[in-house]
Amino acid sequence: MLKEATVTFLTRLLNYVFAIPMLILGMIGSILIIMIFTQKRSFRQNTSMTYLLAGAIVTGIHLPTIYIQMILVYGFGVSLMNTDENACREHTYLRYVTTVAAISFPCWAIFDQYIITSRNAIIRHRWSSLRLVRMIIVGNIIFWILIYIPVIFNTGIINGVCNFKPGPYTTFNTYVFTPLVYGIGPAFIITYCTMGIVRNLRGNHTQDSDKKITNQVRAMLIPQLFILAISGIPFGFQGIYLDLTNGYVKDAFRVALENFFGQVILIFYHFNYVFTFYIYVYKSKEIRKILKSQFFKYTRLNQVSTFNSIEVHK
């Protein structure tokens, strides 16, 4: 029979085996997305890819600033946020802002795909403006920065753990806002826009100036959004379970078991941030082409540099 010490060890093992490699892969992927998406003019001019690029940038901020802290807590038992009140508030606030901002951009991208297949030419022209898209990206980030300001005043260290303080905002955030933002909202947007795209494409009425890239964007988005919709459900509703059972007397084994499953849910949710680049590479021929060209370019430069160095030493 499992014991508390065994479950705690398995929780730490999850970090060593999965979380740390995922963190490294995710940061590498974010950097490569930014490099590749800014290399080609057709990518820079594509509105959906502009949303995805914004998502990669926010992910590149989220992983080192937030996910490293979670790995330190669950994997190594080290946590500044559980000992310093200001660090707790800062961590929780940044965690919510960067998490939601990052997952919102793929939703904007699928909405953009829905718009560009619209039968209304005025709507297609208006929403396909890069200027508007950039304004939406900035506005989206500012919106989440403002909407989560109450988190700063409603979090603190409770029984040695950084958590939300009991109160009306915590109840609203736990039972309404978090499930809506992380689970129900993205699932609804993805379902509605996907059905709209299918319905619009059946009409075959739009003239896409770069149909090849558009098709690849859709192919890239589908698995990414599927992971987002599936992983967001347990992640969004986890807080409700913890709140409902907060008054129960829990032994050490149950606490350890809850921490273990919480870590599993956290790792599964971070699939959204970690595997995005690798989905893009698998689904897009254009991205693979740019990646190969950059790799060979770097290899040639490295070979030339090595050769020149050898010649100098001779």
Q: If pLDDT is split at 50, 70 and 90, which confidence band does 296 have?
A: low
Q: CA 90, 94, 96, 101: dihedral to nearest 10 degrees?
A: 160
Which helix or strand (DSSP H or E) is residue 124 part of?
A: helix 121-127
Average pLDDT, the chain: 82
Q: Tell which wins on pLDDT, 208 or 187.
A: 187
Cα 52 from Cα 277, distance rounded (Å)? 10
pLDDT of residue 68: 81
Instruction: State mean pLDDT over 61-85.
Output: 79
Number of structural domains (the chain) is: 1
pLDDT of residue 307: 44
Which ranges constitute the DSSP H helices of 38-80? 41-44, 47-62, 68-76
Cα 264 from Cα 284, distance rounded (Å)? 30
Cα 69 from Cα 80, distance rounded (Å)? 8
CA–centroid distance for 232 within its chain:
11
Q: Tell which wins on pLDDT, 63 or 218.
A: 63
Cα 260 from Cα 10, distance rounded (Å)? 7
Residue 187 maps to a domain:
yes
Whichever domain contains 134, its CATH number is 1.20.1070.10
Cα 189 from Cα 208, distance rounded (Å)? 23
**CA nearest 201: which of 125, 260, 141, 113?**
113
pLDDT of residue 262: 83
Please write the tens of the pLDDT for every residue from 223-253: 888 888 788 788 878 888 888 887 777 778 8
Residue 311 maps to a domain:
no
**Contact call for residues 220 and 112 (beta carbons, < 8 A):** no
Q: If pLDDT is split at 50, 70 and 90, which confidence band does 302 have?
A: low
At residue 209, does pLDDT exceed 70?
Answer: no
Highest mean pLDDT among 45-49, 119-123, 205-209: 45-49
**pTM for the full predicted model:** 0.82
Domain extent for 191: 4-306
Residue 313 maps to a domain:
no
Q: If pLDDT is split at 50, 70 and 90, which confidence band does 212 have?
A: low
Which helix or strand (DSSP H or E) is residue 158 part of?
A: strand 155-158
Burial 136-149 (b: 16+ CB within 10 A, else e): bbeebbeebeeebe
Instruction: State mean pLDDT over 276-289.
Output: 83
**Contact call for residues 171 and 89 (beta carbons, < 8 A):** no
Cβ neighbourhood burial of 247 (10 Å; 0-12, 13-18, 19+): exposed
269-272-275 Cα angle (round to 5): 120
Please write the tens of the pLDDT for every residue from 34-70: 888 888 787 888 888 899 999 999 998 888 888 887 7
